[in-house]
Structures are given as C-alpha cells and as structure tokens.
Amino acid sequence: MRLNAVIPNFKAETTKGPIQFYDWLGDSWGLLFSHPSDFTPVCTTELGRMAVHNHEFQKRNVKLIALSCDKLDSHKNWVADIKSYCQDICGDFPFPIIADDKRELAVMLDMLDEDQKDDLEAGLTVRALYIIGPDKKVKLSMIYPASTGRNVDEILRVIDSLQLCAVKKVATPANWTPGTKVMVRPDVKDEELPSLFPKGVDTVNMPSGVVYVRTTLDY
C-alpha cells in the first residue's frame, strides 16, 4: 500500500478473538505485518523477536498484529513453538495473529507476491509490514521476500523517526539513531530557528553555497 493510504476498517478472526481493526487500534500507532506461512523457520524467528521486543513497542504506543494465509487453529498451535524457540517470552503470547485462509485481507492489503497474486488457493503472503498512524494512514511500508527475515531494531528505529518527525520540524538523516543529530527541515526559515531550537543549530557549509544542511541535538 502507498504512503498515506488509509487502512480499511476490516473485520478479522485472530488468536486473541475477533477484531474490528479501528476499534482494536484505537488511538495507538499500529504495526501490521504478514508472514508467508506458519511452522516455517524464518517466520518463527521473526514473530519470536517481535514478541520478545513487545515491551519496546508498548513504550512507543505501538500495537502489533500479524497475518498469514493460515487457519486459526494452525496459528494457535504454532504459537507454542514460537514461545519454545524464544524462551525469554513470559506468559501469554503478546499480540494477535490474523487468520486469512481465504486470502481476502492479503489481496486487500497488497501482501501477495506478484507471481502468486492470482493463485488464491496457494499464494503466500510476502513479508509486508505497514506502520500505521493513529489517523489510520500508512506512514511507512517495508516489503521483504520470504527468504529474508526483518530486523526488529530497524523497525523500532524507523518508528522513533516517524514519531519524532510527526511532532517536530525535523527529518532524520541516514543511519540516524535516537540521541544523535537530526536535520532541520528545509521549509523552516532562519528566523524561526531560535524559537524552535533554542539550544542551537549547526550549519554545514556545502560547496554549492546553498545553505540546506542544518543539524541539531535540540529535540
């Protein structure tokens, strides 16, 4: 799905019971991600790491929800394997997994491989991931092939960037991590800098002479 597309208010059966997506999300941020199939090795590591890091997502007011084209009983049985793989998960598995065995949501949310999108009986979901804002719009998407597992640290990093840039007139440069310098947005006028960034802004002199690289730790 494209950036700023509105996620539909779908109904789904999940391992945590039936949901209406907007009611489930509420005023939180959301992370909706698909995996190719239950009882597969890479997917087991991914959902396990998401579960282990669930407290980090909670700190950021982000709710997690997974999806694949498997039946609900399959998801429930698989959860035991995931918990066994990640022994530092305590208690109940922390987020719901959507059962989409008819592939209706996978089609609606554009989560199927281009080569398999017309095979609604056997087509597998790719590793699609959508970060959704409280306004129900897609703020970021990541699409990985089945062979490549996602990096949870990178997902948390981009959430930190999205949430910061949503409230401050800044952008985050390449390889940014929380606590390092951000960039002042080009649409911010010089006369606005003292009020927006009272602790100061550094300007990088570029060969072109155009002043467009301004950085700050004041956020």
- pLDDT 10s digit of each residue in the chain, 219 long? 899 999 999 999 999 999 999 999 999 999 999 999 999 999 999 999 999 999 999 999 999 999 999 999 999 999 999 988 887 665 689 999 999 999 999 999 999 987 666 665 666 889 999 999 999 999 999 999 889 999 999 999 999 999 999 999 999 999 999 999 999 999 999 999 999 999 999 999 889 988 889 999 999
Q: Give the C-alpha separation, 47 to 69, whole Å.
A: 15
Q: What angle do CA 182, 52, 100 make, to 5 degrees?
A: 100
The domain spanning residue 192 has which CATH number? 3.30.1020.10
Active site residue 43: yes
On whether both 16 and 104 belong to a single domain, the answer is yes
Residue 138: domain span: 11-149
On whether both 98 and 202 belong to a single domain, the answer is no
Q: Give the C-alpha separation, 105 to 7, whole Å.
A: 11
What's the total number of domains in the chain?
2
Q: What is the pTM of this model?
A: 0.92
Active-site entry in 43, 86, 90, 165: 43
The domain spanning residue 81 has which CATH number? 3.40.30.10
